[in-house]
Amino acid sequence: RLTNKWASYFPIYQRHFERFRNRPFVFIEIGCGEGGSLQMWRRYFGPFAQIVGLDVRPECKAFEQPGIQVRIGDQGDDAFLNAVVDEFGAPGIVLDDGSHLQHHVQSTFATLYPRVQQDGAYMVEDLHTAYWADHGGGLHAPGSFIQRCKGLVDEINGEWTPQKELVTDFTRSTMSMSFYNSVVVFEKGRLPPSASIMTGAGQPGT
């Protein structure tokens, strides 16, 4: 089936997704396109992965095949998203390639990111739309997901700020944020407690 992806995305996929190959996990792609990307992910991740496509178009059910399931619903409906996770289990990866409307990107992240497994990844692509007014974005627009991410940079470093309210569940569960042209990737994980480790001979400053 037809697949349409920006060539610059493939090195990003490889960097953040390679560790999931040939292991059992749930991969959720929001936005099924013409069905080709679901097949691509099935080939890439191997036979143990469960690929789940989400789309508002009922005709996308035709994309189902062994190892690929499609559920029809609106990504802005948190009840639908939670029902998908309840059905298939915590996703190892969520890839948001859906409507690209900023309110959808925001609400989908708020619902699904906390449900991604402890060592999982969450990618939002085509974020150039965060700068487009007709998608609810714009440079420094408060409703854009890019603008939200700028605040999340403070949250991931929240323990170092006087504002202890910046230490959130996001702070405690997120290991890294990676920004690329039109893409942001969040990787979950538990880092060891922040502590200075000094090794080697001699005294500090000598």
Decide the pairing of beta strands 174-180 and 183-188: antiparallel
**Please, what is the angle between helix 9-17 and helix 36-45, to 10°?**
40
CB 88 within 8 A of CB 26: yes
3-state secondary structure 67-124: CEEEEECCCCCHHHHHHHHHHHCCCCEEEECCCCCHHHHHHHHHHHHHHCCCCCEEEE
Task: Of 153, 152, 144, give the one whose Cα is nearest residue 126.
Answer: 144
Whether 103 is catalytic: no
Distance CA 114, CA 110 (A): 7
Catalytic residue among 16, 100, 104, 135: 100
Instruction: Give the residue numbers annotated as catalytic, written as ranges.
Output: 100
